[in-house]
Amino acid sequence: MAVFVYKASGGGEVSGTVTADTPRQARDLLRERGLVVTDLADYRPSAGRHGGRRGGGGRFGRQVTELARELSTLLGVGVPLLEALETLGRQHRGRFQPVVLLLRDRVAAGGSLAGAMGEQPRVFDELCVNISEVGEDAGTLDSSLERLAEFREWSQQIRGRIAAALTYPAIVLCLAVVCTVFLMTFVVPRILEPLIEQNLPLPWPTRVVKGVSDFALAWGWVVVLVVLVAAGGVGAFVRTARGRRVWHRLLLRLPVLGDLVTKQAIVHIAVVMSTLLKSGVVFVRAVQVAQRTTKNVVLREALERCERAVVAGGDIGEAIEGTGAFPPMVVQVFALGQQSGRLDEMLDRLAAAYNQQVSAAAQRLTAVLEPAIIVALAVLVLFIVMATVLPILEAGNAIG
């Protein structure tokens, strides 16, 4: 069977997917539902703007993780792959259902699960494809998919932890900017206007606030325009290869956040390579997959140099050290892992240690940012209040 995407009318405009052997059969099935088909086309997964993969499964990241876990469970209890995909195709709803149905369609036609995943690069990244391929070849697809699900859940937890650490400070900072702009452009001018009309001498805090307010009223649109143009220019530069490299290098060198980003990336690399090595993938292939799933350009290029050095006959530890992008602890783990033949186990330990450090660093970052932003906001509000209250008190004293 094939998967078709349709648009139809019947009590309103509706759209969705339907499975059938031919387009005509699909139209007949939709007519039996009382729908008048206006458009019908084969479901074709998008390959992305550049035909590449999107790490993490793109917008279907959570659904892909659930699919891997559910497939592993069904295969583990003895359900055949095609029947398992058929069951999950009925279970999933929404835009992810055609993804599962297309997998089932390709497997029913005699293809492999890895090959079917490879046809949908916007949904399944290279890690999914490689682990599934190794599992099918070794006859351990259930355990391979279980390791894939565990890795994706771990990766999502790390991203969620860092996002949670930065969300509250970001919200407070945005609110502080909005409140400050509102006070400077609407509240302060109206309060100071009657005092200025009396030609009373203004205290220095009031003069400072009035100057900022006058500037915001007169040239605020220019500032906003300059900020938008600068943001657009920086965004365009970062989208280039050179700009992305400069931005990622700068990101790794930031005082607190840089260490957090570096360790998170190392955890990702370690878990990816450990998962692949446990599944039977050779080291060079594991490095290649880790490259394609690493978002930071600096670390990705370091892995590429490591791959070239290993292919040329060098030791893994020396190759990692030669990149200059990884801490000595990482270099030592790779070197000892190669010597002992237990690189996958040592990468698991490295990932666990760095994951704990990432969690602690995220908590410290939250503990530092939250009070700092609140104190800064309180000082700013206090200064504005003093600037508006002092002239009123002085005017009252003068009248008295």
Name the percent of the chain lying above pLDDT 70: 86
The model's pLDDT over 271-308, given as tens digits with 9 standing for 90+, comes to 888 878 887 788 888 888 888 878 888 888 888 888 88
DSSP string, 235-262: HHHHTSHHHHHHHHHHHHHSTTHHHHHH
Which pLDDT belongs to residue 127?
Answer: 79
Residue 167 has pLDDT above 70, yes or no: yes
Residues with Cβ within 8 Å of 169's Cβ and at least 6 positions away in sequence, in order, are 366, 369, 370, 373
Cα–Cα distance between 124 and 55 in angstroms, integer?
8
CATH superfamily of 175-400: Type II secretion system (T2SS), domain F (1.20.81.30)
Q: Using alpha carbons, select from 149, 54, 137, 43 the residue that is nearest to residue 95.
A: 43
- Whether residue 114 contacts residue 129, with contact meaning beta carbons closer than 8 Å, is answered with yes
Cα–Cα distance between 355 and 338 in angstroms, integer?
22
Q: What is the mean pLDDT of residues 211-219?
A: 79
Cα–Cα distance between 192 and 200 in angstroms, integer?
11
Higher-pLDDT residue of 67 and 7 is: 67
Which pLDDT belongs to residue 51?
Answer: 43
Residue 229 has pLDDT above 90, yes or no: yes
The model's pLDDT over 345-383, given as tens digits with 9 standing for 90+, comes to 898 888 888 888 877 877 777 777 778 878 887 888 788
Task: Summarize the chain as % helix, strand, coil (round to 5).
Answer: 75, 5, 15
- Whether residue 310 contacts residue 316, with contact meaning beta carbons closer than 8 Å, is answered with yes
Class for domain 55-154, per CATH?
mainly alpha
Which pLDDT belongs to residue 161?
Answer: 67
Which pLDDT belongs to residue 52?
Answer: 44
Question: Poorest-confidence range of 42-46, 237-241, 265-269, 358-362?
Answer: 42-46
Max mean pLDDT among 55-69, 337-351, 364-378 falls in 337-351
Name the percent of the chain lying above pLDDT 90: 2
Q: What is the mean pLDDT of residues 112-133?
A: 84
Residue 99 has pLDDT above 80, yes or no: yes
Alpha carbon separation from 262 to 85, 106, 254, 296, 331 (Å, rounded): 38, 39, 10, 9, 14
Q: Using alpha carbons, select from 52, 105, 75 the residue that is nearest to residue 293.
A: 52
Alpha carbon separation from 263 to 193, 253, 336, 349 (Å, rounded): 54, 12, 20, 14
Which pLDDT belongs to residue 226?
Answer: 92
